[in-house]
Amino acid sequence: MSTWPIGVFASVDAGLGVHLDVAKELGIPTVQVHSPHAGTRTKSAADKFLASCHAAGITVTCVFGGFEGESYADIEITARTVGLVPEATRAARADEMKQISDFTKLLGCDTVGMHIGFVPSDRSSSSYRGLIETTRDLLDHVSKNGQKMHLETGQETAEHLLEFIHDVERPNLFINFDPANMILYGTGNPIEALKKVGHLVRSVHCKDAKWAAEPVRGKEWGSEVALGEGDVGMETYLRTLKAVGYTGPLTIEREIAHDRERQRRDIGTAAALLTKLRTEIL
Ligand code: MG
């Protein structure tokens, strides 16, 4: 694959991504996909989706897991409901993530991604220790499928994410860097964060956002905006990706599934912007 192919976050039947036809229409060669619902994670569904991808010249670069009961309504609810952190659903979700890894293998893809949730700040707490154990067990399953797992950024500071990955001690755990999430969650300047975690970044989201009036972790959301209109600074972002040695896809994410027309338009504009910057920077 060439350096920095454009990508888009797509969905089979779940999540906020665009449908595959949007990627096809825009001539975008790679997609990350949100994992489909349990009933659709079958060999025949995988074959059908792969056939559509092949016909459109599209490569699947990562499959993201998501779970029933997750809500991003506000930051407090997100902390309570998302990922493997909530203890009541941890075991069941880890199990489901293994099934998603198996489905990802059917798609011929070597990477799964997920929001692990708000990792507890106290590294000696039982919740943190339990999360480490669960993540190790999951990663060992993922490894048997010949895969690695990428953690989405935003819910932790760069420093705490590095501590967590260090403590998990598995060679197939990496980062999907999302600069907008650092702004949306108020977890730190995205460019400074990227410099800190860059050596572990194996996939990225190209998404933009504006800081909340009072950007404090766990308080009010920032707001997601079209690429190039927010506080990330796309040129600086791409130059920093180059500086940390990142060569993988530039996957556009635009989470406005309620407005499909606008989503399609914004993704087209984003692809044009990234293509222009790529020519200037590489
Ligand atoms: Mg993202």
Tens digit of each residue's pLDDT (9 = 90 or more) over 23-79: 999 999 999 999 998 988 999 999 999 999 999 999 999 999 999 999 999 999 999
Contact 10, 17 (CB under 8 A): yes
Model-wide pTM > 0.75: yes
d(C-alpha 137, C-alpha 81), whole Å: 21
d(C-alpha 35, C-alpha 23), whole Å: 17
Nearest residue to 85 via CA among 146, 24, 147, 131:
131
Give distance in angstroms: CA of 145 to centre of ligand 1.
24
Residues 6+ apart with CB under 8 A from 196: 158, 159, 162
Give distance in angstroms: CA of 51 to centre of ligand 1.
26
Give distance in angstroms: CA of 158 to centre of ligand 1.
15
Give distance in angstroms: CA of 212 to centre of ligand 1.
18
d(C-alpha 8, C-alpha 15), whole Å: 13
Q: Where are the domains of the chain?
A: 6-281
Q: Tokens at residue 166, please? A: 């260090």
Indicate the average pLDDT of the chain.
95
Give distance in angstroms: CA of 254 to centre of ligand 1.
9
Q: Which CATH number is associated with domain 6-281?
A: 3.20.20.150
Q: Which pLDDT belongs to residue 259?
A: 86
Other residues' Cβ atoms within 10 Å of the Cβ of residue 179: 29
Q: What is the pLDDT of residues 215-235, one digit of tens each?
A: 776 678 999 999 999 999 999
Q: Which pLDDT belongs to residue 18?
A: 81
- Residue 99: pLDDT over 70: yes
Q: Which pLDDT belongs to residue 274?
A: 98
Contact 252, 6 (CB under 8 A): yes
Residue indicated by tokens 């994992």: 35
Q: What is the pLDDT confidence band of residue 258, given thresholds at 50, 70 and 90?
A: confident
Q: Which pLDDT belongs to residue 257?
A: 80
Q: Which pLDDT belongs to residue 16?
A: 67
